[in-house]
Structure 1
Amino acid sequence: MGPPSSSGFYVSRAVAVLLAGLAAALLLALAVLAALYGQCARDPSSEMQHRGGPGAAPVQPRKQKEQPPTPKPGPARKPAVAATPSDWRPPGPWDQLRLPPWLVPLHYELELWPRLQPDQLSAPALRFTGRVNITVRCIVSTARLLLHSLLLDCDSAEVRGRVPVNDVWFALDMEYMVLELGEALQPGSRYKLQLSFSGPVYQDTWEGLFLNLYTDQGERRALLASHLEPTFARYVFPCFDEPALKATFSITIIHHSSYVALSNMPRLGQSEKEDVNGSKWTVTTFYTTPLMPTYLVAFAICDCDHVNRTERGQEISIWARKDAIANGYADFALNITGPIFSFLEDLFNISYPLPKTDIIALPTFDKRAMENWGLLMFDESLLLLQPEDQLTEKKTVISSIVSHEIGHQWFGNMVTMAWWNDLWLNEGFASYFEFEIINHFNPKFPRVSILSPTGSYDQGKILLPATVKSIMDSWTHQSGFPVITLNVSTGVMKQEPFYLGKVKNQTLLTHNDTWIVPILWIKNGTTQSLVWLDNSSKVFPEMQVSDSEHDWVILNLNMTGYYRVNYDKLGWKKLNQQLEKDPKAIPVIHRLQLIDDAFSLSKNNYIEIETALDLTKYLAEEDEIIVWHAVLLNLVTRDLISNVNNYDIYPLLKYLLKRLMSIWNTYSTIIRENVATLQDDYLALMSLEELFRTACWLGLEDCLQLSKELFRNWVTHPENEIPYPIRNVILCYGIALGNEKEWDFLLSIYNNKTKEEERMQLAYAMGCSKDPWILNRYMEYAIATSPFTFNETNIIQVVAESEVGRYIAKDFLVNNWQAVSERYGAQSLVTLIDIIGRTISTDSQIMEMQQFCSNVLEEHQRLSIHAKLQTIKQENLEKKKRNARITAWLRENT
């Protein structure tokens, strides 16, 4: 059995900051939720104005078979009947993206029969057959029916009620099936469309009905599942495939008796039937669903096991490979799922309407996770917790994604957007409540306070400066986000769009580029009243500061707003003085915010780099690793590492090491003595790698010695795993400080690993060698028989990104151009040249690369690469100027 599961909830810093950035806008959006829900109802009269009227008489086209253009990957299929140039039809509703509002679906009776059998897993073209009866209500009289269908063969089509179907054809561009009727349907009447069809099961894509092949308990097995969002229901059955067209579904699945069938609702009953060969199949029927859109319909046919629990009468089951269930890998997900449902029921005061929830872990699922109502689907790497995951952020990932998908059971499933242009709001609400859930269940996590009923101000007293619609429009009808600049001398606050690489002193604000921004702020450590910036600039006298050293202001309380914050010189000076005098007076979230905002603003020419660097003077007193993480990501960038020489790096080494030692000693001691204490410290787990990488790069002897110890201990005793948070750094420096023996050992380990993540870690570590001949030998694998399972051109990229290898990789590519070209083709080479071009820094090197490209590339390729190299040349010039100013500042302050 696996380790005992914890019921704790966790979130990573990256997730926290991102979600907090959305919080303000999302809270305001709650006010318009009811309106959005109301929009799901259709208005036939208004829709008719832009979709065209129904045809009065049936058209009798000549049937002609045609393969659909650019089909999705899958088995070969019999082409459907389609409209073609020789079978021309006049413009009509089949040319429109949206369905005409002639019919409203009410209920689907859907039967699917995939021919999946456990002894025929290698079948090259697995298919399914199906039948669907769709009850519809006619809104506008029509003799022509349109519904969605793609890559399906229609075997029969009828309309109950003695309405003849004269013809069935397919309008492929907009993915419609068109039924031409012998007489018009009448408004207000109900009809039942009866369709029989067949289609392919996909093996190389995760759309429609797809197949997973995997190994469980030493045997090869298969699992069939569905993914219908956003418009893949039409790949599985003819339907009205738009999110506003909700209906109820009664689903039947016919399957081999050794498999279990799952769908949105609980199983109603089972029976048997025989096929034409006399083989017996199991028929599983399910209870009827509530009203829901087609994209949430779901089914799975699997040979899985499960664990389950009951939460407030709702049965919750986690399904996965039998090995995974037996080893307890699903226990953590099971333990957190029930409490999440209960929390959201209490929060919304709305009970979850389904009697059960199945969650299935798919061996491979590139969609990551999907919130199908009553049958949630996850890639197993995002749901199952294994013993080796204890010192990773895996609990964070599982908690976050499970919370997100369960949040969708209310926002998305119960309340659904009318059209896909509101998908951002669907995802935004789920993300918002994902964050609320994790804060609720893990109070030990340093909470980033967000706008909520328990916030630091009385929401009942807030007066909005404009209508909710105006506020929301200012954020949803334009791209990007603002920079808010406060002049603490005058109290003037202004906003402008945030641009990457703004030209110095350029004014970029136009009359349309304004946001209505809620400003939460603190003064001298005390929370102040909410204010709104609803113009390009506004005066707030209460934000002025005096000459006192203790007088300072910080905007964007707890980073709840989605904007960058800038201050005038006095504002930054006051904050810097406070950090140097008493950094703990500024909460940790704001110390991180100041560092991140300042370096981002300096990089994009809003403030001088020296202003950002001044904020780092206090770092000897900083004991929060998450703040150090922000400092190192912004200051010790890969550009700096690859461009500074030994003379220039000395001031940085001296400056950082003097301030780094305290935090280094804390965490290096933990790594040496009791790394298990970090198991639930997710801020440390996500920040340690950057701390160790920088310390070793700076040449800190203790870091290099610790890397040697951990690497050699692992080589000698492989059961002594390198702590996961610093595994990449230790592997890299183990190779950098070693020789051929260590490199060959890593290669042998690579060949025996099966997990792709571990193989990639080893492959990148092998590029850290400082021996040119080893790196050249490594790159030989790119043009010879290779033991590497990933794209061998990545080997050259790995070497090019290393400190020593960037020059060797360029020479290797030049000297072996013909062999590389023959093996990988021109496009891969263009990519490689682009990668290597970004590792060179001098004008002469760029000229050499341009000359080389002129000799070996086609003209259109040369033009593309030359343009990129010119961009790199300009970027290198800017980087050199910036690095020179950093070096000069360091010399003055070291």
Structure 2
Amino acid sequence: KIFYDHVVQPVLSEDNEIGVRSLSESEDKIKGSFSLMSLFDSITYNKGASITWMLSGFLTEKLFIRALTSYLKEFAFSNANQDDLWTHIQMVVDAQDEVQLPASVKQIMDSWTCQNGFPVLTLNLTTGTISQEHFFNKKNANSTDSYNNTWIIPVSWIRNGSSQPLIWLDKSSNMFPEMQVSESEYDWILLNVNLTGYYRVNYDELNLKRLARLLENDPKVRSYFMRFFLFANRFGYMQIETALELTKYLAREDELFIWNAVLLNLVPENLEGTLKNYEVYPLLKVSPFLLSKCGICIFYSCYFGFLSRVYLEKLFATACWLGLQDCLDLSSELYAKWMDHPEYKIPFLIRRTVCCYGVAGGGEKEWNFAWEMYNHTDSTKEDKDILLSAMSCAKESWLLYRYLQYGLSDTLFSSNCTSVIILYVATKDIGHRIAWEFVTENWPLLSERYGKELLHDVLKDMARFVNTDVQIQELQVFYNTTLEEDERVAATLLLEFTKSENMERRELLIRVANWLQKNVDD
């Protein structure tokens, strides 16, 4: 669960854009040190780890470790490339009869490392057909683009709760007679049940209806299916109303990792400030089962083991964001305890949230304490970042103005902190307007120090709040006086694109609000 949630899931969310590079790059594409340094990213580390995890899954851990041991012994203190690893794995596979592969190890793995992105599989229960296509971040029925990427895919699956032999999909689609189901509503199938496959899964309506009936009774189905529906809704493979209907059972859900997955998708961190501008927020805020479950989950996380506490951070942050009084009171209590006893350590997983709401619930005294602790010589880099963020949570405008002014001082902050402070303030409820006014008023000085990189970062963040032509025109006036013509054109296109995305989000959230109004008391 932890590996999937913290490694596989994040890189799947990143590896779905047009233009994302493949895991393995040919040498002729690496030109200069910048291209080389760009390879040290999440695609290399997280996608590489995810595909290795999948490889270990279909080989079995025993064969994988045997092959890896042989590979490491031969190339110790030497150089190697990925084909050397495939060769050693192939040697181990050829020396046994238990695991049979549909192609050579190199052919299978090259389909994952030498082309970008990953597939989404769609299962049709009536015909038993599985098809694959290149997955992108939004399902567009009107798109005329075609992509011919095909992967050799190991598909683990269960039928009616019983594990089935691994199957392979090595073409765009294939019919598997063993996957044709009967008319019984209790005949169902799940793909990629152990979540080791580096791909997404989609189902036809027949299977969705049958799986939905299992949500309350089968924990294994719940943990898998909730992840599926969140992906399907988020990326356009399922209507939002259908996805929301499936959340009704959550009133009886106590598994923390499921709540963590739900909240990460329902209330993503980069949209917390934005969501407060929409009708959906007050409905979420008064949703009794959401509030009560956040409270229960916090209690469980505090008193149970490590796996429970791993998921505490998002649960606690969401509870405070929704205004759960127990959460706000606990934040104020722990922050006050820290002020009285500076040697006290707020629990790490909730430290960022506690500091933010501790400052937000107080005034100048609480803000000044955060400032004092930021300048404390014993503060770690991570603690300093938490406090930089916390000081932007102040609810009094003059404190935010003063904070931004502090950011201009070479003696109070290092030069790279100014842009961080501006962006932290810009993401807060009352801060985005204050931050924008500060940037426009101080642009000559900021431009001289940081150039247009700062404007790009601020623009990207401020664009989340652009919803009308008037707002675009207001920003355009600023661009006309600060940017060259080609930069103005690019900035305007970015704003228009963002406005379109924001309007699409508003329409979606109106549908969510309408659903909540009808179902919040159910």
TM-score under structure 1 length normalisation: 0.48
CA contact (8 A) 2:367 2:391 kept: yes
> 1:471 aligned to 2:108?
yes
Q: How does 1:14-413 map to 2 (within 5 A)?
A: 14=5, 17=8, 347-348=65-66, 409-410=72-73, 413=76
Say if 1:688 and 1:726, in contact at 8 Å, map to a contact too.
yes
Cα offset, 1:502, TM superposition: 3.5
Question: Equivalent pairs: percent with the same residue?
Answer: 40
1:648-673 C-alpha deviation (Å, 9 max, x unpaired): 32322334x414524632533654xx
Distance in 2 separating the partners of 1:525 and 1:880: 39
Query: Which stretches of structure 1, 4 residues or longer, exceed 6 Å deviation after superposition?
Result: 18-21, 343-346, 349-352, 423-426
8 Å contact from structure 1 (residues 837, 849) kept in 2: no
What does residue 206 of structure 2 align with? 570
On the 8 A contact 1:20/1:559 being kept in 2, the answer is no
User: Is residue 600 from structure 1 mapped to residue 231 from structure 2 by the alignment?
Assistant: yes
TM-aligned CA distance change 1:777 to 1:699, over 3 Å: same
Write the distance in 2 (CA, Å) between the matches of 1:621 and 1:711.
32
Once the two structures are superposed, residues 599-627 of structure 1 have per-residue CA deviations (whole angstroms, 9 ceiling, x without a partner) of 22333322222333233221122222111
Aligned to 1:861: 487
Secondary structure of residue in 2 paired with 1:557: coil
CA distance in 2 between counterparts of 1:892 and 1:411 reads 65
User: What is the aligned partner in structure 2 of residue 726 from structure 1?
Assistant: 350
| Distance in 2 of aligned mates of 1:797 and 1:554 | 43
Q: Distance in 2 between matches of 1:839 and 1:798?
A: 15
The residue correspondences of 1:488-567 to structure 2 (distance < 5 A) are: 488-506=125-143, 510=147, 512-567=148-203
SS across alignment from 1:520: strand
The answer to whether the 8 Å contact 2:119/2:151 transfers is yes
The whole-number CA distance in structure 1 between the counterparts of 2:186 and 2:425 is: 51
- Picking from 454, 462, 479, the partner of 1:828 is 454
CA distance in 1, matches of 2:138, 2:338: 45
Mapped contact 1:734–1:742 kept (Cα < 8 A): yes
Q: In 1, Cα distance between the equivalents of 2:110 and 2:63?
A: 30
Instruction: Give the corresponding residue for 2:429.
Output: 803
Report the Cα distance in structure 1 between the residues aligned to 2:64 and 2:444, rounded to whole angstroms.
67
Confirm or deny: 8 A CA contact 1:525 1:586 kept in the other structure.
Answer: no
Aligned residue runs from structure 1 range 574-723, under 5 A: 574-580=210-216, 582=217, 585-587=218-220, 591-637=222-268, 638-639=270-271, 641-645=273-277, 647-655=279-287, 657-659=288-290, 661-662=292-293, 664-668=295-299, 671=302, 678=305, 681=306, 683-723=307-347
SS of residue in 2 equivalent to 1:579 = coil
CA distance in 2, matches of 1:704, 1:484: 43
Q: Evaluate the alpha carbon distance shift between residue 598 and residue 344 of structure 1 in structure 2; reply closer, same or farther with a 3 A threshold.
A: closer
8 Å Cα contact 2:125-2:181 kept in structure 1: yes
Match of 1:739 among 338, 344, 363: 363
For residue 828 of structure 1, report the CA deviation from its aligned partner.
Answer: 2.7
* Secondary structure of residue in 2 paired with 1:578: coil
Contact 2:274–2:464 (CA under 8 A) maintained in structure 1: no
Residues 525-555 of structure 1 deviation map (CA, whole Å, 9 limit, x = unaligned): 1101222222222222332334444332110
Q: CA 1:12–1:748 in structure 2 vs 1: closer, same or farther (change >3 Å)?
A: farther
1:722 aligned partner, one-letter code? I
Output the CA distance in 1 between the equivalents of 2:407 and 2:163. Answer: 59
> Cα offset for 1:880?
1.4
Indicate if the aligned counterparts of 1:592 and 1:630 stay in contact, CA closer than 8 A: no
2:251–2:293 Cα contact (<8 Å) kept: yes
Aligned-partner Cα distance in 1 for 2:10–2:428: 34
1:882 aligned counterpart, secondary structure: helix
- For 2:397, the equivalent position in structure 1 comes to 772
Compared CA separation, residues 520 and 11, structure 1 to 2 (3 A): closer
- Cα distance 1:346–1:846, how it changes in 2: closer, same or farther (>3 A)? closer
Distance in 1 separating the partners of 2:225 and 2:417: 41
Mean Cα displacement is larger for which, 468-477 or 759-768?
A: 468-477
The superposition leaves residues 688-747 of structure 1 with CA deviations (integer Å, 9 ceiling, x where unpaired) of 111011111111111111111111111112233111010000001001111111001110
Give 1:854 shift.
0.8
Give the superposition deviation at 1:831. 3.2
The more displaced of 408-417 and 465-474 is 408-417
Does 2:473 match 1:837?
A: no
Q: Give the direction of change, closer, same or farther, for the CA distance of 1:640–1:18 in structure 2 (3 Å limit).
A: closer
Structure 1, unaligned runs of 5 or more: 1-9, 22-95, 98-172, 176-206, 208-228, 231-342, 353-407, 430-451, 453-458
Partner amino acid for 1:723? P
CA distance in 2, matches of 1:841, 1:412: 57
Return the alpha-carbon distance in structure 2 between the equivalents of residues 745 and 591 of structure 1: 44
669 and 684 in structure 1: CA distance in 2 versus 1, 3 angstrom threshold: closer
In the alignment, the residues of structure 2 paired with residue 497 and residue 350 of structure 1 have an alpha-carbon distance, to the nearest angstrom, of: 30
Q: Hey, what does 1:274 align to over in structure 2?
A: none
Distance 1:615 1:799 in 2: 36
Secondary structure of 2:412's match? Answer: coil
Distance 2:436 2:69 in 1: 62
The structure-2 alpha-carbon separation of the partners of 1:479 and 1:862, relative to structure 1 and needing over 3 Å to count, comes to: same
CA distance in 1 between counterparts of 2:326 and 2:163 reads: 43
> Compared with structure 1, are the counterparts of its residues 413 and 891 closer, same or farther at alpha carbon in structure 2 (3 Å cutoff)?
farther
Question: Residue deviations 1:363-421, cap 9 Å, x none?
Answer: xxxxxxxxxxxxxxxxxxxxxxxxxxxxxxxxxxxxxxxxxxxxx85485378525xx7
Q: Residues 632 and 691 of structure 1 are in contact (CA less than 8 Å); yes or no, is this contact kept in structure 2?
A: yes
- Go from structure 1 to structure 2 and tell me whether the alpha carbon gap of 1:841 and 1:732 turns closer, same or farther (over 3 Å shift): farther
> Structure 1 residues 423 and 628, CA, compared in 2 at 3 Å: closer, same or farther?
farther
Q: 1:885 to 1:345 in 2, by over 3 A?
A: closer
Measured in 1, the distance between the counterparts of 2:282 and 2:375 equals 40
For 1:851-871, what per-residue CA distance to the aligned partner results, in whole angstroms no more than 9, with x for missing partners?
211122232332332222122
Letter in 2 for 1:631: V
Q: For residue 316 of structure 2, what is the amino acid of its counterpart?
A: F
- Structure 2 CA distance, aligned partners of 1:761 and 1:734? 12
Equivalents in 2 of 1:601, 1:835: separation in Å? Answer: 26
Report how far residue 15 of structure 1 moved: 5.0
Partners of 2:505 and 2:283 in 1: how far apart? 18
CA distance, structure 2, for counterparts of residue 666 and residue 853 of structure 1: 47
| Alpha-carbon separation, structure 2, partners of 1:759 and 1:856 | 32
Matched, 1:486 2:123: yes
> More helix per residue: 1 or 2?
2
Change (3 A) 1:664 1:20: same
3-state SS of 1:560 partner: coil
Specify the SS of the correspondent of 2:422.
helix
Q: Provide, for residues 137-157 of structure 1, a one-character-per-residue CA deviation record: whole Å limited to 9, x for no partner.
A: xxxxxxxxxxxxxxxxxxxxx
Alignment equivalent of 1:852, drawn from 478, 482, 485: 478
Q: 2:395 aligned with 1:763, yes or no?
A: no
Match of 1:390 in 2: none
**Superposition RMSD on alpha carbons, in Å?**
3.7
Say yes or no: does 1:817 pair with 2:458. Answer: no
- Specify the alignment match of 1:336 in structure 2: none
